[in-house]
Chain A
Amino acid sequence: MLTIEEIKKQLKDKYQNSIKNFDSPYSTRLFVDIDKSKVRDISNEIIRMGGRYLVSVGYDNIARDKTLGLIHNFSMDRDDIFVSVRTAAPVDNPEFDSITPDIPNAGWSEREYIDLLGMKFKGHPKPKKLILADDWPAGVYPLRKDVPWNLMPPAAEDVAYELDEAPEGCTTIPVGPFHPTLHEPAHFAVFVDGETIKGCDYRGFMVHRGIEKLCQTQLTYNEIPFVAERICGICGSVHAATYAQCVEFAAGLKISRRAEYIRTIMLEIERIHSHLLWLGIAGHLIGFDTVFMQSWRVREAIMWYSEKLTGNRKTYGMIVAGGVRRDITPELADELRSVINTIDKELMVIYKAVAGDTSIHRRTKGVGCITTEEAKLWSLVGPTARARNVDIDSRRDHPYAAYDEMQFDVPVVDSCDVWGTVVVRILETFEAIKIIRQALDKMPAGPIMTEFDENVTPMRHAISAVEAPRGEAVHYLISGEENRPERWRVRAPTYPNLQGVPAMLLNDQFADLPIIIGSIDPCFSCTDRVVKVDVRSGAMSHLSSGDLEKISRAKKTAGR
């Protein structure tokens, strides 16, 4: 077990001259201000101490001291500490050392700030466009404060994203942006040799809604939870809760215990319905529609209950900074108990019926394999990681809300394939039911809202993580003036997981692509939350359907 003092000491011993300041407003948060020349070394040192890379945050600080700020965040899972390494570079030469060569998962974060803030990263292996549209004018960096939130540059016709070259002897098959196996727009260029996948390139971020910029310029602290909830259609409460916790950390606000219990119950209700939804979709993707229909039938009970409790099936609107909006009355608590009892029984029936089914085993076992080491290297999170024997769960590692008083297991399996994610998710649903039962029994009386005066000291930093059904959602907040955040960074769980997908696809069959991509429970819209434009020009020169037909016929006649 490391303590903050030990981390400070170890960093001080090695990098005495590069470290400017330590700040630790809470016993679980450590902010380190460093010189930008040592970013890569200090990041590696924290990884060596047992850190896990979370996300980077870039922000515009030009008005204050003519710099662009960059924050790399790490989680010490065994010690319940978040370490944030803060650095800055002058705006006329915003160059940092890239940490991607050592931490591949940082690749997207860094590419994001190349696009959005005009930073440069020395040694980045793939500094291509990630977020902005292909026809976005060069030199306009939308997250900078001088760019208005509603800027709409004119569209251009003749630009297209340059996808990676297919490896020697491979054919490119485009999947998406609109494709029956993807429920949201994203483009995968899959390189296949025969039926075997040899690589893939991803072009996503087609559903930017500009949420972060919008909230930083237009909304106020207690309006943002409702927008945060709409980052994701499935794990809405998660984002609202993560955001609310960030604001409470920044404001130094302690909410009532009852509100924390209600938040816990909401998050677990969400986990139950999300996992049942995923189980259905996974069944559907492998052509097993019985599972799809039955698990969605079971799920319906919790959706109707949510409607009674919160006023809506989804987008509950329960969580705001300072507490929750509706109370769980004794009658509603009794009803919740009976609803989860029914789900418990019926899910067990489904589990028993599918667990031994050989057709499911054949479609999922040994599919989408990556090793535990690779999963750690790519910083995978959630059930995707736990199916690869990576034992992480923010509920246990960084207890928030009322999870410190809950008794539950974190299911971890070592099968390293898609089957593992199925098992983990079903077991987690049973755990969620267990947690709700405990929370209902232990819930103390008290107020559900604590007065939040919306008067947060500017430039306070706060980070918070919540275990969403898909993995860990991380929010970083810098408080600002005018009753709204200066910078609010959202990292949805799909963000790291999607970066690991090419590794999972490697050497698998093309027919398994839907279930492998589906196994991370991808949520492209959560991932693509940042700026404000759609990718307009999707024109890419790929094989037409006629070409494909010709090739497949040629292969057939050649005896394949």
Chain B
Amino acid sequence: MWLTSKIKQVLMVLKPGVVTLKYPFEPHPVAKDFRGQPSWDHHKCVGCGGCAAHCPARTIMIRDVCQDLRIMLYDGSRCTYCGRCADVCPENAITMTEQYELATNDKNDITVNMELFMLTCQRCGRCYNMETTNMIDKMGLKGYRYDSLEARAVIPRATEHLDIKMLEETEHYKRPQK
């Protein structure tokens, strides 16, 4: 019994042979949908702050330094690479890259700092992005141009529940007179 077990064990070991990878001397590619270090595309970002609101580890911070400038800071030292930010991004500006070799002595190597130029909402005074590529423009909606003061009054209502009927109403919307 003892001997047969040992023979079986020898066969079990010999058959697969050496399986140890040569990593780190050879690169080790990862799977296609690997969740590595997140990366931000500043062309696409509209500065909505959805990623900051959903990050379980609170590694993404948004701060409005002045009326026109919104800073987005990603601190990778605490990131758990859950990929929640990429999920919630409405503009697909965040992708989870294949980068996993992130050990570093300098925290700044894994910190991303983005400065987003924003416009100020006439109604609430907070800033929002008004480049030509933003989500609102892409949707081709009437009455959402930043120079249309009449329409802007309904933006907070309209963006929460996009409703065709309500949009039609906004065409004839009149600002309340004093």
B44 within 8 A of partner (CB): no
Do A307 and B8 have beta carbons less than 8 Å apart?
A: no
Name B29-60 residues within 8 Å CB distance of A.
Answer: 30-35, 54-57
Question: Contacts of A311 on B, CB cut-off 8 Å?
Answer: 31, 33-35, 83, 96
Say yes or no for B148: interface residue by CB 8 A criterion. Answer: no
- Using Cβ atoms and an 8 Å threshold, which residues of chain B touch A86? none
What's the A-B contact tally at a CB cutoff of 8 Å?
72
Is B8 touching A353 in the complex (CB atoms < 8 A)? Answer: yes
How many whole Å from A197's CB to the nearest CB in chain B? 29
Question: Chain B residues near A226 (CB, 8 Å)?
Answer: 56-57, 80, 82, 84
B132 at the binding interface (Cβ < 8 Å): no
Are the C-beta atoms of A354 and B9 separated by less than 8 Å? yes
CB atoms of B35 and A358 under 8 A apart: no
Interface: A230 (CB within 8 A): yes
A308 and B33 contact, CB distance less than 8 A: yes
Stretch from B12-20, B70-78, B111-119, B169-177 forming part of the interface with A: B12-20
> How far is it, in angstroms, between the C-alpha of A317 and the C-alpha of B79 when the chains are bound?
13
What separation, in Å, do the CA atoms of A359 and B54 have in the docked complex?
53
User: In this complex, what residue of A is CB-closest to B6?
Assistant: A357
Q: Mark A281-303, 1 if CB is under 8 A from B, else 0.
A: 00000000010011001001000
A417 vs B56: C-alpha distance when bound (angstroms): 42
Could you tell me the distance in whole angstroms from the C-beta of A345 to the nearest C-beta in chain B?
11
Smallest CB separation, A481 vs chain B (Å)? 18
Q: Which of B12, B55, B81 contacts A312 (CB 8 A)?
A: B81
B159 interface residue (CB < 8 Å to A): no
Q: Among the listed A219, A293, A317, which residue makes an inter-chain contact with B82, where contact means beta carbons less than 8 Å apart? A: A317
A180 CB within 8 Å of chain B: no
Q: Bound state CA distance, A558 and B117, in angstroms?
A: 84
Check: B104 CB closer than 8 A to any chain A CB.
no
Q: Given A219-B56, A311-B34 in contact, is the A353-B5 Cβ separation under 8 Å?
A: yes
Q: Is the CB of A350 within 8 A of B31?
A: no
Whether the Cβ atoms of B80 and A315 lie closer than 8 Å is: yes
Chain A 215-232 per-residue mask, 1 if CB under 8 angstroms from chain B, else 0: 000010011101100100
Question: Across the two chains, which residue of chain B brings its CB closest to A288?
Answer: B9
Residues A307 and B30 in contact in the complex (CB < 8 Å), given A290-B13, A312-B81: yes
Interface centre among B1, B12, B83, by most chain A C-beta atoms within 10 angstroms, is: B12
CB-based contact B31/A325 at 8 Å: no
For residue B87, CB closer than 8 A to chain A, the reply is yes
- Residues of B close to A325: CB separation below 8 A: 83, 87
Q: Which residue of B lies closest to A223 (CB)?
A: B56
> How far apart are the CA atoms of A220 and B103 in the complex, in Å?
30
Q: Which residue of B lies closest to A355 (CB)?
A: B5
> Is A352 an interface residue when CB atoms closer than 8 A count as contact?
yes
- Tell me if B105 is interfacial: C-beta within 8 Å of chain A: no
How many of B's residues come within 8 Å of A, CB to CB?
A: 29
- Say which residue of B1, B16, B57, B82 sits within 8 Å of A358 (CB atoms): B1
- When the two chains form their complex, are residues A317 and B35 in contact, meaning their CB atoms are under 8 A apart? yes
Chain B CB within 10 Å — which of A304, A311, A349, A352 has the most?
A311
User: Which residues does chain A contribute within 8 Å of B33, judged by CB atoms?
Assistant: 308, 311, 326
Q: Whole-angstrom distance from the CB of B38 to the nearest CB of chain A?
A: 12
A524 to chain B, nearest CB (A): 21
Q: Is A356 an interface residue (CB 8 A)?
A: yes
B12 lies within 8 A of A349 (CB):
yes
Which of B2, B16, B55, B84 is the one whose CB lies under 8 Å from A357? Answer: B2
When chains A and B are docked, how far (Å) is the Cα of A310 from the Cα of B31? 10
> In the complex, how many angstroms separate the beta carbon of B57 from the nearest chain A beta carbon?
8
Give Cα A492–Cα B4 distance, bound, in whole angstroms: 40
| CB nearest neighbor in B for A224 | B56
- Interface size on A, as a range, is 20 to 34
A358 to B96, CA, bound (A): 50
Alpha-carbon distance between A311 and B96 when the two chains are bound, in angstroms: 9
Mark B149-177 against chain A: 1 for CB-CB distance below 8 A, else 0: 00000000000000000000000000000
Measured between beta carbons, the chain A residues less than 8 angstroms from B81 are 312
- Asked whether, in the complex, the Cβ of A307 is within 8 Å of the Cβ of B56, the reply is no
Give the residues in chain A near B19, CB-CB below 8 Å: 297, 300
Which residues of B are found within 8 Å of A293, using beta-carbon distances?
Answer: 13
Q: Chain A residues near B84 (CB, 8 Å)?
A: 223, 226, 317
A359 to B1, CA, bound (A): 11
Partner of B83, one of A317, A350, A354: A317
* Cα–Cα, bound, A337→B30 (Å): 21
**A330 CB, nearest partner CB in chain B, Å:** 16
Chain B hits for A223, CB < 8 A: 54-56, 84
Determine whether the beta carbon of B5 is less than 8 Å from that of A357.
Answer: yes
* B1 partner residues in chain A, CB cutoff 8 A: 356, 358
Chain B 65-106 per-residue mask, 1 if CB under 8 angstroms from chain A, else 0: 000000000000000111110010000000010000000000
Please give, as numbers and ranges, the residues of chain B lying within 8 Å of A352 by CB-CB distance.
Answer: 8
A240 to chain B minimum Cβ distance, whole angstroms, is 11
* Bound CA span A219–B81, Å: 17
Of the candidates B34, B57, B82, B84, the one having the most CB atoms from chain A within 10 angstroms of its own CB is: B82
| Chain B residues whose C-beta falls within 8 Å of the C-beta of A224 in the assembled complex | 56
With contact pairs A307-B30, A311-B35, A317-B83 given, residues A353 and B12 touching in the complex (Cβ less than 8 Å): yes
Q: How close is B164's CB to chain A, nearest CB, in angstroms?
A: 21
**Which chain B residues border A230 with CB–CB below 8 Å?**
80
**B12 to chain A: which residues have CB within 8 Å?**
290, 294, 349-350, 353
Q: Are A308 and B2 in contact (CB under 8 A)?
A: no
What is the minimal beta-carbon distance from A32 to any residue of chain B, in angstroms? 35
Is there contact, CB below 8 Å, between A354 and B5? Answer: yes
Q: Please state if A308 and B56 are interface contacts (CB–CB under 8 Å).
A: no
Enumerate chain B residues within 8 angstroms of A326, measured Cβ to Cβ: 33
Contacts of B80 in A (CB 8 A): 226, 230, 315
Report how far A219 CA is from B5 CA in the complex, Å: 53
Q: How far is the CA of A357 from the CA of B96 in the complex (A)?
A: 47
Whether B32 pairs with A308 at a CB distance below 8 angstroms is yes
List of B residues within 8 angstroms of A353 by Cβ: 5, 8-9, 11-12
**Is there contact, CB below 8 Å, between B9 and A290?**
yes
* A-B CB contact pairs (8 Å), 16 listed: A222-B54, A226-B57, A226-B82, A226-B84, A294-B12, A308-B31, A311-B31, A311-B34, A317-B83, A317-B84, A349-B8, A352-B8, A353-B11, A356-B4, A356-B5, A357-B6
In the A-B complex, list the 7 residue pairs whose CB atoms are closest, starting with the nearest.
Answer: A311-B35, A353-B8, A223-B56, A308-B31, A357-B5, A226-B56, A317-B82
- Additional pairs, 20, CB under 8 Å, beyond known A311-B96, A354-B9: A223-B55, A226-B57, A226-B80, A230-B80, A307-B34, A308-B32, A311-B31, A311-B34, A312-B34, A312-B35, A312-B81, A315-B80, A349-B8, A350-B12, A353-B12, A354-B5, A356-B4, A356-B5, A358-B2, A359-B2
